[in-house]
Structure 1
Amino acid sequence: MNLPSSGTVARVLVALYSMLLLACSSLPRINPDMVHSPAAPVQLDGAHGPLSESRSQAILDRLKVSGMQTNIFDLHLAIEEALVGSPLTAGNKVDLLQDGPETYAAMFAAIESARDHINMETYILEGDEVGQRFADALIAKQRSGVQVNLIYDSVGTLATPPAFFTRLRESGIRLVEFNPVNPLTARSGWQLNQRDHRKLLIVDGRIAILGGVNISGVYSSGSFGSSRQGRPRRDLPWRDTDLRIEGPVVADLQKLFITTWDRQKGGELVPRHYFPPLERKGNDVVRAIGSSPDEPYSQIYATLISALHSAQSEIWLTSAYFVPDPQLLDALKAAVARGVDVRLVVPSSTDSWLVFHAGRAYYRELLESGVRLFERRDALLHVKAGVIDGVWSTVGSTNLDWRSFLHNQEVNVVVLGAEFGGRMRKAFLEDVDGSEELTLEAWQRRPVRARISERIGRAWEYWL
């Protein structure tokens, strides 16, 4: 979600300030030649630090897809090894959460289980019924002795009453407003166009939940099943995806939260066991990736482009806001040219008119190249996920657009392995079943009004 649904005047002012005050950034050029087999054997981290070479190889052997002419798993493993960043971590348990009700149930259960601390980071935190439920749960935990630390984005919460945050603060919850719209309240320099788009909950340093779901009543209903039939368009259910993670990789996500807290000068955190000893919880190999405009380039972007360059059979992506830069566009088209099955599930309706039409300006070029496009019906698509070759999966807060890669703080995880990849493929195909495929012939017949809207949206794509 790029902006809250209300507060139109404030949104316009934010956009104008962003254009006038901030210089343009650029995306890095990702060289396909960077993807290579590591010179040394791959080594994974575990609950107690780096694993031995033999233990690492045993874990990787279990994850490989058998019976393939090319070792696709090894290829994607090489991508992750070639990129600088957080380590690949073994011994995690990753659960796939689909839509708001399932994600909220997991979040409330995690909050209720907290005994030491709760760290929460979100873009939108509304003061509606859902927001009040979260506020009540967090305040109850704070009063019970659990320290709650909350980072919320200033633009994402423009419509939230100040009294909502006053209540949280007075209970003892520590708050950080990320890059305040009001420069007089900024603690770390005024960077209005840089937004915190992450959605991350960490409980006791042991459980993490992340993905696309904000704290808002729009997620109150699910997007699959008979309940959505006949629903008025103005009341479409929101379709989203999150992950619940236990295991050693939670420590890497905790580091991302604390880094943001420090950069925003949130003050010294109340002493708690933020990095408890972590145990093996499952068999998933996971890499946590955070991106920030304060860094030279987006690690998430570099990882994605490298994975696209190395795809052998399938690229299946779901993106709520799809406005491709030239390099991403070229990577998708090149994959089709070498025989890869490239499919994208995109929205048929949106909460952001400009982004919606900016992305549609590229549909003809994609369809002509052989990319298959599916528009999700009867739901407002907000998913940011992908699965490549059935073994490389990612879920997080990152959209496939300029804003996510250049201007936002984002967080994703990459999960390696065919078992989790199978779950991701199943979820993707469920979205395809709820979609209508676009054809080049039909797209060329779209009305003039739509073409004009696309030109307008594309003119603003960098800033959206």
Structure 2
Amino acid sequence: MSLSRWLAPGLLLLLGACNTLPTIVPDMARKPPTVQVEGAAGPLTKAQSQAVLDRLKASGKPTSIFDRHLAFEEAVTGTPLVTGNKVTLLVDGPNTYKAMFAAIQAARDHINLETYILEDDDVGQQFANALIVKQRAGVQVNVMYDSVGTLGTKKEFFQQLRDAGIRTLEYNPVNPLTAKAGWDVNERDHRKLLVVDGRTAFLGGINISSVYEGGSFSKRSGRSTRTDGKDDALPWRDTHLQIDGPVVADLQRLFLETWAQQKGEPLPSRKYFPDLPKVGDDVVRAIGSSPKDPYSLIYATLISAIDSAESEILITNAYFVPDPQLMAALKAAVARGVKVSLVLPSKTDSGLVFHAGRASYTELLEAGVRLYERKGALLHSKTALIDGVWSTIGSTNLDWRSFLHNLEVNAVILGPTFGRQLKVLFDRDLAESSEITLEAWNHRGIGPRVRETLSKAWEYWL
């Protein structure tokens, strides 16, 4: 869900102006960009990129697409990927909540939950009740929630958790008098992360809310949502992951580090980092990003994968407001013969983001990027699949807010087995979508054009 759902952009701009404005990193600057990939110690130059390819050639073995993506992935981040994991693809709220509740019920030591939105509705109360039961059974439960994302949640909801012994932490409170770690209302925790016993983790785009009660590939629908001036009852379409295995330790570390940075009360001693044996064959990297980082590692990794693409780029994203470098990377991929297809929303909970993103359609269509809009659902998914072997799912939207202002978390999964699963899901969304052609787009009315122009002026803040 977009921040603009909760705060009017004018209020956000006013509050943000009370602090020093965030620095726009070079790859987000409003100027014709030089496409480059950020490495662990700075940009990967063309020479460094070529060195990766030369190293592959020097091995004397045939190089597959997977080998290339593996090599570039390691070069960008500077750390090895984690093997021995089991990744389960979860589609929409009902399937995801079922898996999460099963893991919560099976917890024996601790539960760490970090979320942007935690609503006081039927689904929120189900989570509260399940967590309270485990806390009273001796399992330590720690809950971190974003202040803006929970503006509509009653204080009594969180008080019931605290009364049961659950540790809670409000991330970056809107009220500066209650902030413990400095105050910047524009910096938000957009992550959706659940870690159970340090062994199982869930991440993706799904918040804790009753809007996810209906599946998007069925006739059932979710809560009525105001979209483009119409009251449409639409199911929410989203994607999540369950991950078991050694990489869960990296996700656990992200939670604990954020808790400490926000100066949350000391957590009770638990076995937060148990021994994690191999449980599967999936190769995974957990990537967290923060506005305090020199640049978004998630963004850098995505640009690297796009620049390394040889055959196909398939992206599904809820809030698509691309910066100049992402635009350049997508267009360059098409120019070298890569098929680039994007599934984007036809309806949204944020009109400003929706129209700001559409302002880029003409340039992308003219470059040969194929654009589709998902019908029959409110698209909230954030996934990418490149060359059938490089996949990512997480909380990160393709907009300025996610790359500059939010804490986000994604998983990158390398390998054709998971890639095939994500391709099937992409094709299912594609079947529910309508293609936007350049001819039809050029004939849109003056109203949409005006909304696009006005909305794009806010893209940095949306």
Q: 1:36 to 1:101 in 2, by over 3 A?
A: farther
**C-alpha displacement at 1:228, in angstroms?**
5.5
Work out whether 1:423 is the aligned partner of 2:421. Answer: yes
Q: 1:36 to 1:199 in 2, by over 3 A?
A: farther
**C-alpha displacement at 1:445, in angstroms?**
0.9
Which structure 2 residues correspond to residues 7-86 of structure 1 after superposition, within 5 A? 13-29=11-27, 30-31=36-37, 33=46, 34-36=48-50, 38=52, 71-84=64-77
**C-alpha displacement at 1:87, in angstroms?**
3.3
Question: What do residues 301-327 of structure 1 show as CA deviations (whole Å, max 9, x unaligned)?
Answer: 100001111100000001100000000
State which of 382, 386, 389 in structure 2 corresponds to 1:388: 386
Distance 2:460 2:91 in 1: 30
Question: What do residues 22-72 of structure 1 show as CA deviations (whole Å, max 9, x unaligned)?
Answer: 413223443462435659999xxxxxxxxxxxxxx9xxx9xxxxxxx9621
Question: What do residues 113-155 of structure 1 show as CA deviations (whole Å, max 9, x unaligned)?
Answer: 1000000000000001110110000011101000001110000
Secondary structure in 1 matching 2:3: coil
Is the contact between residue 37 and residue 78 of structure 1 (CA under 8 Å) also seen in structure 2?
A: no
Distance 1:85 1:200 in 2: 24
Work out whether 1:162 is the aligned partner of 2:155. Answer: yes
Distance 1:140 1:260 in 2: 25
Distance 1:85 1:188 in 2: 29
- The equivalent residue for 2:85 is 92
State which of 182, 193, 203 in structure 2 corresponds to 1:200: 193
- The equivalent residue for 1:222 is 215
What letter corresponds to residue 161 of structure 2 in structure 1?
A: L
Is the contact between residue 122 and residue 199 of structure 1 (CA under 8 Å) also seen in structure 2?
A: yes
Secondary structure in 2 matching 1:267: coil
Which structure 2 residues correspond to residues 12-411 of structure 1 after superposition, within 5 A? 13-29=11-27, 30-31=36-37, 33=46, 34-36=48-50, 38=52, 71-84=64-77, 87-227=80-220, 234-411=232-409
Q: 1:131 to 1:86 in 2, by over 3 A?
A: farther
Is the contact between residue 322 and residue 356 of structure 1 (CA under 8 Å) also seen in structure 2?
A: yes
- The equivalent residue for 1:50 is none
What letter corresponds to residue 49 of structure 2 in structure 1?
A: V
Is the contact between residue 148 and residue 173 of structure 1 (CA under 8 Å) also seen in structure 2?
A: yes
Secondary structure in 1 matching 2:77: coil
Secondary structure in 2 matching 1:259: helix
Distance 2:307 2:97 in 1: 35
State which of 448, 451, 456 in structure 2 corresponds to 1:453: 451
What letter corresponds to residue 72 of structure 1 in structure 2?
A: I
Is the contact between residue 116 and residue 189 of structure 2 (CA under 8 Å) also seen in structure 1?
A: yes
Secondary structure in 1 matching 2:74: helix
Distance 1:37 1:273 in 2: 42
| Number of corresponding residues | 437
Is the contact between residue 19 and residue 184 of structure 2 (CA under 8 Å) also seen in structure 1?
A: no
What letter corresponds to residue 436 of structure 1 in structure 2?
A: S
Q: 1:281 to 1:309 in 2, by over 3 A?
A: same
Distance 1:256 1:85 in 2: 18
Distance 2:333 2:55 in 1: 28
Distance 2:254 2:129 in 1: 26
Secondary structure in 2 matching 1:234: strand
Is the contact between residue 391 and residue 416 of structure 1 (CA under 8 Å) also seen in structure 2?
A: yes
Secondary structure in 2 matching 1:181: coil
Distance 1:121 1:156 in 2: 12
Q: 1:260 to 1:36 in 2, by over 3 A?
A: farther
Secondary structure in 1 matching 2:134: helix
What letter corresponds to residue 186 of structure 1 in structure 2?
A: A
Distance 1:128 1:15 in 2: 30
Q: 1:143 to 1:37 in 2, by over 3 A?
A: farther
Q: 1:36 to 1:269 in 2, by over 3 A?
A: farther
**C-alpha displacement at 1:109, in angstroms?**
0.6
**C-alpha displacement at 1:234, in angstroms?**
2.0
- The equivalent residue for 2:40 is none
What letter corresponds to residue 76 of structure 1 in structure 2?
A: H
Is the contact between residue 4 and residue 156 of structure 1 (CA under 8 Å) also seen in structure 2?
A: no
The two structures, once aligned, show a CA RMSD in angstroms of 2.1
Question: What do residues 418-455 of structure 1 show as CA deviations (whole Å, max 9, x unaligned)?
Answer: 01011111111110000000000000111101000000
Give TM-score scaled by structure 1 length.
Answer: 0.90
